[in-house]
Structure 1
Amino acid sequence: MTPPAYCTNVHPAEDLPGVLAQLDRYAVPVREELGVDTLALGLWLADPVAHGLAKDETARRGLAAELRARGLEVSTLNAFPYGGFHQDVVKHSVYLPPWTDPRRLTYTADCAVVLADLLPDSASYGSISTLPLAWREPWTSIDDDRARGALDAFARFLRAEAARNGRPIRLAIEPEPGCVLDTVADAVEWMAGRVDHDHIGICLDTCHLAVSFADPAQDVAAIDRAGLSVVKVQASAALEVAEPGTEEGRRAIAAFAEPRYLHQVRENDPAGVLAADDLPDALARLPARHPWRVHFHVPLHEAPPPPLTSTTGVLLAATEALRNTVDNLPHFEVETYTWTVLPGSAHASEAGLAAGIAAELRWATEHLGEGVSA
């Protein structure tokens, strides 16, 4: 089977020449390492790139031709990061602009225009993942109404685009710890009856799902009962430490505290899940009496150093739940954007990163089973 897509937000490229250079530097070697004729990508286009392509049909056709020439295809875009995803410090800025800001609607619409011209003939639909409205603070009832209005406007835009292009583009809202839609349950409650279910669904990021200590089968069932759909799965794994209060556990998890990205932590206390917004904050104030899960996307095929483990079991359980619930699995995208900030990473070189991505995609193909869509 064709491997799931890999998300190119791991690569810093915020203009079109940079995007093409990164495809040559990494995507083509990954395809060659896997020995496949075609490699699926979950393409990330920063706002200036998406805007320029959306305004220039010739440029879109040119990008489609460049992809074909390299044996690459795109059925899904990751439109969560707006830009600046590889700055020295990203943290909370990844949630900007929120869905209350017209720039978010414009950017996502630009992405939809671009994706419509990149879809391979084999794709029945295109998908775009996006942030879960905003970081949770500040958020008011007025913000709630504005976000709903923006999503209604985007659904109307998608309906018009589908009529023009013949194949639908669907938006996938991605619950994430700490955001307005923190968990899948939050997303289901907010979206059910409020959004156009034909064009807007959920992006099930299995790292985020694991961090929330949710039950994958129950969450998939809740999505289905609400009449919503999983438009896209981001196949990803979180870090887990069973005994964060021990010296060994604390030292191991502290090695993953780094300054670029936000690494939300949840502690599975029997009285209720405890939360910290970043790993240094968790180390300073969580009681550490029960297991922690950390929002740090770790490679699917590599076990972290003991006593840490990864939550690939949650990914496998979510995939099985989907297989038992829907007729056709959604798009799958492997989204490990943290390769370059892994402690002591052996994948810092271009060749090492390409080999690591290929190994991860090989693992995903072998373990997620037949029927996973790219």
Structure 2
Amino acid sequence: MRLTHPSGTTSHLSYCTNVHPAEDLEGIIGQFDTYAVPVRDRLGASVLGLGLWLAAPVAAELAADPALRGRLRDELSVRGLEVVTLNGFPYRSFHDPVVKHAVYHPDWTTRERLSYTLDLARILADLLPGDAARGSVSTLPLAWRDPWNAAMAGQAARRLDELAAGLAAVEAETGRTVRVGFEPEPGCVVETTAQAITHLAGADTDRLGLCLDLAHLACAWEDPAGALKALRAAGLPIVKVQLSAALETGEPEALRDYVEPRFLHQTRTAAGHRADDLDEALERGLPAPWRVHYHVPLHAAPAPPLTTTIPVLREALKELAGGPEPLCDHYDVETYTWGVLPPALRPRTTEQLAAGIADELDFARTELRDLGVTA
């Protein structure tokens, strides 16, 4: 969906399709009819934005074949769908029974990660609407923190230089600008905005910047105003914002129903205690309160004593979109955990999932409208 900031800047609001498991072109196109078109209809939107997730094999096929890219663009257009952002964090197999640490591989020390990301940039340059100012691709924050050493840091720095050069080549060839945003996440080499400033120092900030996931920001117990002020001072652009909410509670035992085997749910306490997964945090009995990297639906508060980090999301949006000029123009709702919620909270049908996604987007649209960002 397109909204307009009081400055006149267009803001793009989408939902991320990494919530769906398809990893081939036919399956991806099938998602459009099963989910995206019903979501668009529920919202009464003439055009719905998608933050596409393309697994590495299908991305390689699309990047190599202009005719396939043309087909994908046409399949989107005929359904009233558009794409200005891609999620390039999961490489493939994001809906395997167990994902956990595998989502961080290949990392930014490898040529595989570079090639995948440049494939996405080439695809996005062709998918972008003609009047879109730019495209964005989100990616992992270099690597999981262990192992990490000076040699790996040097390899990653070289890959980022190659990435910036590759993005410049895509722009020279297509006339379209695509930027890549590194997404701080608990447990990674870049976990906080301060670490992003350190590790991306010297990067080409015309093409590289930050993907700010608001659940991750909350789990790091960062102050949104302070974090954004520091990013502006460092000249590090916010390429993309992922609208997401984490779990929060002062009574951790209430979280036991959220333990599940597929994804990592890094847990952080207000006092700075850390666990890499929710079951570990419960076993160790970390002191409350906790925030847990578990993306939960934006619009639906869990049963007490659980709550979510929606207040952090609101504080961040006020800084991002509430000023005279927006700090970002790409907003992607990224709740990929619908299928691993406690059984009583999971959608049972495709219609229920489409309705939940639509409700999240309506929630996000309302939050932005309250800041003066209107249709």
Shorter-chain TM range is over 0.9
1:154 alignment partner in structure 2: 163
**1:188–1:226: 8 Å Cα contact kept in structure 2?**
yes
Q: Deviations over 1:265-286 (max 9, x none)?
A: 00112xxx11000000000114
**2:218–2:246: 8 Å Cα contact kept in structure 1?**
yes
Structure 1: which amino acid aligns with 2:330? H
2:356 alignment partner in structure 1: 356
Trace 1:1-374 onto structure 2 (pairs within 5 A).
Answer: 2=2, 4-193=13-202, 195-244=203-252, 250=253, 252-269=254-271, 273-288=272-287, 290-323=288-321, 327-328=325-326, 329-343=328-342, 344-369=344-369
Structure 1: which amino acid aligns with 2:261? P
Q: Distance in 1 between matches of 2:260 and 2:282?
A: 13
Count how many residue pairs are aligned between Structure 1 and Structure 2: 363
Q: Distance in 2 between matches of 1:325 and 1:186?
A: 25
Structure 2: which amino acid aligns with 1:298? V
Q: Distance in 2 between matches of 1:69 and 1:298?
A: 31
**1:316–1:368: 8 Å Cα contact kept in structure 2?**
no
Question: 3-state DSSP class of the match of 1:255?
Answer: helix
**2:84–2:129: 8 Å Cα contact kept in structure 1?**
yes
RMSD value over aligned CA atoms?
1.5
**1:130–1:174: 8 Å Cα contact kept in structure 2?**
yes
Shift of 1:23: 1.3
**TM, length-normalised to structure 2:** 0.94
Q: Distance in 2 between matches of 1:323 and 1:40?
A: 18
**TM, length-normalised to structure 1:** 0.94
Shift of 1:51: 0.3
Q: Deviations over 1:144-189 (max 9, x none)?
A: 0100100100101111211222221000000000000011111111
Structure 2: which amino acid aligns with 1:283? L
Q: Distance in 2 between matches of 1:63 and 1:168?
A: 19
Q: Distance in 2 between matches of 1:74 and 1:68?
A: 10
Structure 1: which amino acid aligns with 2:224? P
Shift of 1:134: 0.6
Structure 2 unpaired stretches of 5+:
4-12
Q: Distance in 1 between matches of 2:372 and 2:105?
A: 35
Q: Distance in 1 between matches of 2:360 and 2:321?
A: 21
Structure 1 unpaired stretches of 5+:
245-249
1:97–1:326: structure 2 CA closer, same or farther, 3 Å change rule?
farther
Structure 2: which amino acid aligns with 1:332? Y
